[in-house]
Structure 1
Amino acid sequence: MSPTTTTADQPEPAAPARDLPADAPAAVRIHHVHKSFGQTRPVLEDITLDIRPGEFVCLLGASGCGKSTLLSLVAGLDRPTSGHIELGGGRPALMFQEHALFPWLTAGKNIELALRLRGVPKAGRRAEAERLLELVRLGGAYRKRVHELSGGMRQRVALARALAQDSQLLLMDEPFAALDAITRDVLHEELTRIWSRTSLSVLFVTHNVREAVRLGQRVVLLSSRPGRVARQWTVGLPQPRRIEDPAVADLSVEITEELRREIRRHGKH
């Protein structure tokens, strides 16, 4: 199956989510969202985007186009200037580029903190933290301190902590950008594996085109400021994918050319 493309004016619906009814409410509905911070020109302008239950969507664009701002709005960390955002499954979990683990706590205790905030009884937290560490392939790391973990291991713990929130929506803001290429590729595999085993919806922000095609069922390109939905691609390639796969490379070239056009268009304004 080859990837397909759509324009912002004619979005193509993504495939229904795995093991969920076709008429299930959207995980996220973003309706005509604008965001300004007092400048003459808004950061985001008229963003309308639906993410279906269980869908993996990658949000792509040049630096400063408003990707992280949009993620913050969906997370509830800020409010749109106008428009509104509807969440279908409660408060989302959020994972940043920096792991943001508490260094005075062990890996397991960092996860248990999220479980405590969720209301999990103390008696069950240790077992659940260890289960989540196993899920991210860090079994046996419960007692390890943050300084004993590599960068990739820290991001695995951060992912386990995000999963501990038991949200149906996971927001990821360039979580692998600071990692070396091999570690990043391994974590791509792990994230795909975990996503495929759950009903998670994922909104993943990146500036890396190949990463977006490697991971996403859909790639959404934002224009340069103000950020608008410029174009969308439904990635009709089966998982698991490899970043060096020819079909991934071919679609990455197409998206990169569109991204370059957006950057050039922005430079003329």
Structure 2
Amino acid sequence: MTATLDTPTAQSDTAAAVTLSGVRKSFGHGAHAVTALDGVDLRVAPGEFVCLLGASGCGKSTLLNLVAGLDQPTAGSIELTTSRPAVMFQEAALMPWLTAARNVELPLRLAGLKRGPRRAKASELLSLVRLAEAGGKRPHELSGGMRQRVALARALASTLGSAEDGTPGLLLMDEPFAALDAITRDVLQAELVRVWRETSTAILFVTHDVREAVRLGQRVVLLSSRPGRVVREWSTAGVGGAADEAELISDVTAHLREVISGHAAA
């Protein structure tokens, strides 16, 4: 069976891909200030796959932006053991004038990697996401699912580049499959798990889909409604089959509904 925790797990002293301690984020000032996150404690171990779940507006995307360095916390601290986490969004956001291979090369080029090695790395990563034959195509020639695979390869180019000195890679994913049809989403979920296992990259994956969180993550973390705090965690290590998965999905869904109901009643 799965392990459930009513309160967040204690933070250990071992190295982590990212550690958030007492993170608070407010927008605006004075009486008009809005607090999106308040007192978030979260640790993602090297190579761990963590899914972050919560109601709309609970601060999931804000938390990812803080970890990515796109914004700064109002209070608390964020410690990274990788200097260059990569972010993957709902939209692939590929450069339309570049081929798939050149899109994957872009972060390597910005990192100063010479042409030969970066082309070899881009080819390797496209093969990893099963797009070895698509390197010469531009985004408009690819399906939505293929564009997301290219975006994944490009994100991995950044994280693997930061991992070459021995530090763990970190991939931040903000509902990357939400805009895809159900069949394509299922395929890409399976592909993501395969790529994660092959690369050992730590992943912090934001979703509003309980089933997706349970199927992908080693750990599911639930945020409260605004201001977001970690209120519960589940390990998926004990999921042994369809019955266990269904039970865990039901339990997570029930607690998510409590969070949403509590927010609506406030």
If the length of structure 2 is used for normalisation, what is the TM-score? 0.91
Deviation of 1:238 after TM superposition, in Å, equals 6.3
> Per-residue CA shift, 1:142-172, capped at 9, x if unaligned?
1011011000000000000001112410000
Q: Distance in 1 between matches of 2:115 and 2:84?
A: 22
1:60 CA drift (Å): 0.2
Report the counterpart of residue 19 of structure 1 in structure 2: none
Tell me how far apart the structure 1 counterparts of residues 135 and 24 of structure 2 sit (CA, whole Å).
43
Q: 2: distance between equivalents of 1:98 and 1:64?
A: 19
Q: Once the two structures are superposed, what CA deviation does each residue of 1:46-94 show, in whole Å capped at 9, x if it has no partner?
A: 0011111111000000000000000000000000011110001222111
Q: Which amino acid aligns with 1:251?
A: L
Q: CA deviation at 1:246?
A: 3.1
User: In the alignment, what sits opposite 1:256?
Assistant: 253
4+ runs deviating over 3 angstroms:
none
Does residue 233 in structure 1 map to residue 234 in structure 2? Answer: yes
Q: 1:264 to 1:141 in 2, by over 3 A?
A: same
Residues of 1 paired with 2:51 and 2:123: CA distance? 29
Q: Distance in 2 between matches of 1:181 and 1:247?
A: 22
The structure 2 residue matched to 1:81, chosen from 65, 74, 83, is 74
- Distance of 2:72 and 2:10 partners within structure 1: 28
For 2:20, the equivalent position in structure 1 comes to 30
**Which residue in the other structure is 2:193 paired with?**
192
- Looking at structure 1, the residues matched to 125 and 238 of structure 2 have their Cα atoms a distance apart, in angstroms, of 28
Contact 1:104 1:145 in 2 (8 A): yes
**Alignment check: 8 A CA contact 1:61 1:222 kept:** yes
**Alignment TM-score, normalising by the size of structure 1:** 0.90
Percent identical across equivalent pairs?
A: 61
Instruction: State the number of aligned residues.
Output: 255
SS in 2 for 1:89: coil
- The 5-angstrom pairing of residues 105-116 of structure 1 reads 105-116=98-109
After TM superposition, give the deviation of residue 40 of structure 1 in Å.
4.0
Matches of 1:218 and 1:152 in 2, distance apart?
25
- Whichever structure has more helix as a proportion of its residues is 2
- Which amino acid in the other structure matches residue 25 of structure 2? K
Q: Distance in 2 between matches of 1:92 and 1:54?
A: 13
Aligned to 1:246: 243
| Offset of residue 24 of structure 1 | 4.8
Once the two structures are TM-superposed, the CA of residue 125 in structure 1 deviates from its matched residue by 2.2
The CA deviation at 1:140 is: 0.7
| Letter paired with 1:119 | G
